[in-house]
Chain A
Amino acid sequence: MTNRLNKIWKFFFGDSARAFGSASVILLVLLAIAPAKNHFSQWHRYQKQYLHLIGGRADAITLARHYQGGIQQIWIPEQQVTDRCPTCHLGIKEATLTDVSAVAFRKHPVIPHSLTEFGCTTCHRGQGAATTVQEAHHATEQWEQPLLPAKYIEAGCGQCHLEKLTGTPFLNQGRDLIASNGCTHCHTIKRPDGTLIPPDDDPPSLAHIADKTSREWVFAWIKDPQAYATTATMPNYQLSDDDARDISAFLMAQGTPLQPPLEPLKVSAAPPDPAAGTTLYGQSFCASCHAMQNAAGMMVGGNLGPELTGIGTKAKPEWLQDWVANPNHYDPKTMMPHYRFDEKQVATLVAFLESKTEPDFLANVHLDAATPQQVERGKRLVLENGCASCHEINGIKKPENFAPELSRIGSKPLSQLIFVEGMNHTLPDYVVAKVSNPRAFGPSLKMPQFKLTPQQVDAITTALLAQTDRAFTQPPTMRIASVQQAKYEPAGHAGQLMHDLRCFSCHMINGHGGDMAPDLTYEGTAVQRDWLVQFLKNPETLRPALIRRMPKFNLSDAEINTLTDYMLTVYQTPDFDRDSFPASELTAAQTDQGRQLFYSKFACQSCHIADFKNDKGYIGPALAGTGKRFNAAWVYHWLKDPQALRPGTTEPNQHMTDEEARSLTAFLMSLKSGGAKETAKK
């Protein structure tokens, strides 16, 4: 044995020449390992394939000139980006490679960002520094942030963009759903700029619940809210009959009577006419906010207030009477305006709403009187289920941190997640499962079942996946702040009146309020006093194709004067004076020229109506009464640049000359038809 080894040794290293030769060969082989590894590597194969692909194309020379072999890397230290993706994805910047079937070599779709400034993993995730397909795209033991599936890619945008972007409808929808489903009552979700995502679902206080509804209704509702109203946002807690019995017993027991108490139902001599109820419901534009299922099963109406399809089954008539007369009495924080209904109108509406019932909903509910043990157990269940996270309940404090914080859920390591058997082990799959069917993770889990479509679940998942570590740790200069509701509250009598009428439920002023109705920030510059008075008395239809309209609040003349004076004084644009353009200076010649411009050059009649007999434009407001409604200065400046006065308005900027705008103003101010015939003020 030793003999043979000796022989081999002698053969290779017997004398100095042999030893030198052998050592050189070994050295050569060792030196060749590194280049060989590169040569036989995966990325090198991709580069060869790419060269083959571009070689067969018409623009081969240009493409070949752009090509650089070897490891390619995007390095942005301040964003912690070291992305070697372009090593294989060689065509991402090549404008002509849009039709390549191999995804690896295709041009990156058009996005507003430069790939070299933002890198790849910032949006797509994955392991940027890796140079094999498996490591770069998938999760490994050392890397838990695999590539994000394409359908959640908007989560990448959401890390920096906290505002609503035009190009990210699902991210926007997901964020809206998180707010409108009240997820953040229980889960804290911080935005990267430190602000919280506030809930936007306004769950009612239960402090006076016994005044409003019956225990039977509460029982059936908490068992299955969507059985009462398909649009209900309250989730299903999948309660047993016993649990629902005890919770309803407790909720009724904790309810205190409203102070001052509800008045007994006023019985009118003649029973209200049902047709009058339908008319009044329509005239008051209740449907702008409330939906109701019609006879054909279609849901008609807005979603600002609760659905009213079965309101007669839910609400006691005394409560409805009190609520319709003045909602502030029962709930000072409601979004519902205080209509000035007279007694007869209240009775008519109450009778109409009481006739809207869901008889099946309470058909099988029979509850015996509650025992003290049931009430006690009900209280325990209310505490356990965290009901007070959303609802105000007497004797129970809102629990703190009732559910896990989700501020950084998008970077949660897989090792910290507990998957259900048979589930894909990825973070998006986990979030989808949690949102769509939380109790699948265990029947004792507290998170209730929300009623969401698969598409809505994906949208919520997109919004949650945007809550990453990167979003919090990247340079703050990269963040685009969210648009927050301004804290604006008008003062004085007018302010109280605007609060009582809940103008801000629909209108926005100075960055505060809703978006259902026009922004009124500069309304005082825009309109004439007489018109505003008449409009508040009897809101006419300004836009022919609109369903949601301004309701008639039955305001008194004194109230109208207060509101009008305030609006005309305060809601002015700083850019020009309302009276800077006296209509008296406009000539008949200008009016004629304006008419020409209106109908020919600018073809305003495609969207507006100047003359109800001939014009049919449906999109913008009717302009037949412009001369009575607006100030000439407003019309002139609006024509010059509509977006400057109301950002986001659909009206295009037509780039008119001063002369053209002046003539058109003259024509529009000459239109004085329509309008109410009521006297202006007393």
Chain B
Amino acid sequence: MLALLAEGCSHKSRQPEPLKSTATGAAIVESSGGKQIGYVGMPLDQPVVVQVNDANGGGVAGAGVYFSGPAGVTFTPAAALTDSSGQVTTTVSLGQQSGRYKLVASTRDASGKNVPVAVEEIALGYQQTVGAQLHAQYCIRCHDPESTPQRVSNMDNLAVKPHPFTEGDTLNKMSDADLVAIISHGGAALNKSPLMPPWGYTLSKSDIAALISYIRAVADPPYQAGGLVYAQK
């Protein structure tokens, strides 16, 4: 994952034709489209929207915005002038590796200095996709506080609140083995809330591994796998 981020800095996608900016801003901010969960090689559901502001925080029209990202990421368009509200909208397709993608949108201020803003997106690979599907079938109703008309969240009905899968602060501290145990045997067996049922007799081992890979993929802050530990020579 770190390597991916590093790659983001080295493999800038080809700089597009310079834009004829008619104005410059002082700052650039993300309006929407960050922290989306997409799939490798696929366009994100929502476009990424950034806004160029002047020193007072008002939108600047006609400022040039350039997008760049790690290898494999494509932007349509990769560069554009801000509209009348100071915003630029671009559709993003993620690259072929699963993991986090750090995208950068930048504009130039009055002195010609580059002002960037980073937007992070997540690409799910095969295993995480399986996990996402299982999550949607078995877990989301309790573990996601968001309700939609099609899917009412059950979280508020529970005396002990489940951890949303994005809750990295808590879940990152648990090892894969911990998570396997809780998912398989339920909360009660591990002295936690019995509201979490055991899924080990319903889901297969590979299903549970897929779920964990999904949990790791969407954790916020990001999950850092423990590296290999070898005995000193």
Contacts and interface: CB of A to CB of B under 8 A. Distances in A.
Given A109-B98, A150-B96, A655 B201 contact: yes
B145 interface: no
Contacts of B93: 151
A14 interface: no
Interface residues of A, number: 43
Given A101-B7, A109-B125, A547-B150, A151 B194 contact: no
A607 B195 CA distance: 9
Question: Interface range on chain B: under 10, 10 to 19, 20 to 34, or 35 or more?
Answer: 35 or more
A281 interface: no
A103 B201 contact: no
A600 interface: yes
Interface stretch (A5-13, A85-93, A612-620): A612-620
Interface string A66-102: 0000000000000000000000000000001001110
A653 B95 CA distance: 39
A119 B66 CA distance: 41
Contact of A166 (B95, B133, B195): B133
A458 to B, nearest CB: 7
Interface string B50-80: 0000000000000000000000100000000
B16 interface: no
* Interface of B: prevailing SS: loop
A455 interface: yes
B1 interface: yes
A618 B126 contact: no
B134 A455 contact: no
* Interface of A: prevailing SS: loop
Nearest to A642: B202
A603 B160 CA distance: 11
A166 B198 CA distance: 21
A510 B111 CA distance: 73
Nearest to B6: A101
B91 to A, nearest CB: 8
A603 B127 contact: no
Interface in B65-123: 72, 91, 93, 95-98
Interface string B168-205: 00000000000000000010100001111111111000
Interface in B181-233: 186, 188, 193-202, 206, 209-210, 213, 227-228, 230
B129 interface: yes
A111 interface: yes
Contacts of B42: 151, 170, 455, 458
A616 B202 CA distance: 24
Interface string A596-615: 00001111001100000000
Contacts of A112: 206
Contacts of B4: 101
Nearest to B151: A545
Contact of A619 (B91, B130, B154, B193): B154
A603 B187 CA distance: 10
Interface string B1-42: 111101100000000000000000000000000000001111
Given A101-B4, A150-B40, A169-B129, A654 B97 contact: no
Contact of A167 (B133, B137, B141, B202): B133
Given A99-B1, A111-B126, A606-B195, A151 B40 contact: yes
A617 B195 CA distance: 10
Interface string A291-315: 0000000001000000000000000
B96 A103 contact: yes
Contact of A618 (B152, B199, B200): B152
A606 B150 CA distance: 19
B45 interface: yes
A653 B201 contact: yes
B40 A650 contact: no
Contact of B230 (A58, A110, A166, A606): A58
B130 A166 contact: yes
A170 B138 CA distance: 20
A643 interface: yes
29 contacts: A99-B2, A101-B3, A106-B97, A109-B126, A110-B125, A111-B127, A151-B41, A153-B41, A166-B130, A166-B134, A300-B149, A455-B43, A545-B152, A547-B150, A600-B194, A601-B188, A603-B188, A603-B194, A606-B154, A607-B142, A618-B152, A619-B154, A650-B137, A652-B138, A652-B199, A652-B201, A654-B186, A654-B197, A655-B200
